[in-house]
Amino acid sequence: MEASSYQRPLPEGPIHPGSGRGIDWRKLFAPVAAAGLLLLKFGAKLKALLFLLPKIKVFTTSASMLVSVAAYSLIWGWKFAVGFVLLIFVHEMGHVLQLRREGLEASAPMFIPFFGAVIWAKSLGDNAAAEARVGLAGPVIGSLASAALIPVASATGNDLFTALAFTGFLLNLFNLLPVLPLDGGRAMAALSPTMWLVGFAALVGLTIAFPNPIMLIILLVGGLETWRRWRERKSPGAAAYYEVSPRDRFLVAATYLGLIALLAFGMTETHLERDFGDA
């Protein structure tokens, strides 16, 4: 893609198989199929519109953050919503800062309720190693921000900060799935394109286990991008793009696997048992 668009979705309202609730797959796939048809028919116009959105004042970062806070407040209350949106902001700024370190211009984040946030850049770098650094910068900075909430929770005794830390760890871990356009898929660009297929298979499994429209949209976008890159991977330009030094491969792999381990540990340590019984 000529422009990068980082989406930070959080699966909502999963319906577990065997729960006694029937899954109407037609209702789930209908909006995704419609979105796919629109992308195919009006792709160029939609792309132009996306590039114009950051220039429209009503869609500034602060305004879109307020809209997202209001939307999430309907579910979790305003205090948690503010913390959640700030965690997404820090995550996105990790991408922005790394893009600028790579010498590339990047827009400020724009928030989309229930989908997270997006940034725009004309390129993700000159090669797959740069793309991996940009992709991993978000989870690295986002994980540090989430971890910083743990001492705050300990000092205040307020479980709100513990819950936010857990949610931040979960959000960053989800984004490390090795499938495009998630951050883990960006990291895999510097390792092995084969991992895109593994990640896509894992995403299919998660979508079947926890079907909802957001997961299906990620599956659609990820499938199209994975297929495009896989088809073009042996072209002369792509071969040069994916040529990565052993040192860079090691650093990306170590960062990627280390993040997964630390985030899983962080989730374990910040998980709160919820008591639904009488107080």
| pLDDT tens, position by position, 45-97 | 445 545 555 555 445 788 889 999 999 999 899 999 999 999 999 999 999 99
Residue 278 has pLDDT above 60, yes or no: no
pLDDT of the residue at 52: 52
Q: Which of 109, 95, 106 is nearest to 140 (CA)?
A: 95
pLDDT of the residue at 167: 94
pLDDT tier at 169 (50, 70, 90 boundaries)? Answer: very high
Which residues are bridge partners to 117 per DSSP?
Answer: 111
Q: Give the pLDDT confidence of 171-227 residue by residue, as tens digits.
A: 999 888 888 788 988 888 888 777 777 877 887 887 788 777 777 777 787 778 778
pLDDT of the residue at 25: 43
pLDDT of the residue at 55: 52
Q: Which of 93, 179, 99 is nearest to 140 (CA)?
A: 93
Residue 151 has pLDDT above 90, yes or no: yes
pLDDT of the residue at 29: 45
Q: Are 122 and 102 in contact (CB under 8 A)?
A: no
Residue 235 has pLDDT above 50, yes or no: yes
Record the tokens describing residue 66, joined without a space: 């307020």
Average pLDDT over residues 119-134: 85
pTM strictly above 0.75: no
Choose between 42 and 228: higher pLDDT: 228
pLDDT of the residue at 11: 35
Rounded to the nearest 5 degrees, what angle is found at the Cα of 195, between the Cα atoms of 95 and 202? 90
Please list, in sequence order, all residues whose beta carbon lies within 8 angstroms of the beta carbon of residue 149, skipping any fewer than 6 positions away: 83, 161, 162, 164, 165, 168
Choose between 22 and 131: higher pLDDT: 131
Share of the chain above pLDDT 70, in %: 76
What is 39-101 written as a DSSP string? HHHHHHHHHHHHHHGGGSGGG-HHHHHHHHHHHHHHHH-HHHHHHHHHHHHHHHHHHHHHHHH
**Helix/strand/coil for 259:** helix
Omega of the bond leading into 9 within 30 degrees of 0 (cis): no
Residue 262 has pLDDT above 90, yes or no: yes
Q: What integer best gives the mean pLDDT of the chain?
A: 77
- Separation CA 76–CA 116 (nearest Å): 15
Displacement of CA 187 from its chain's centroid (Å): 13
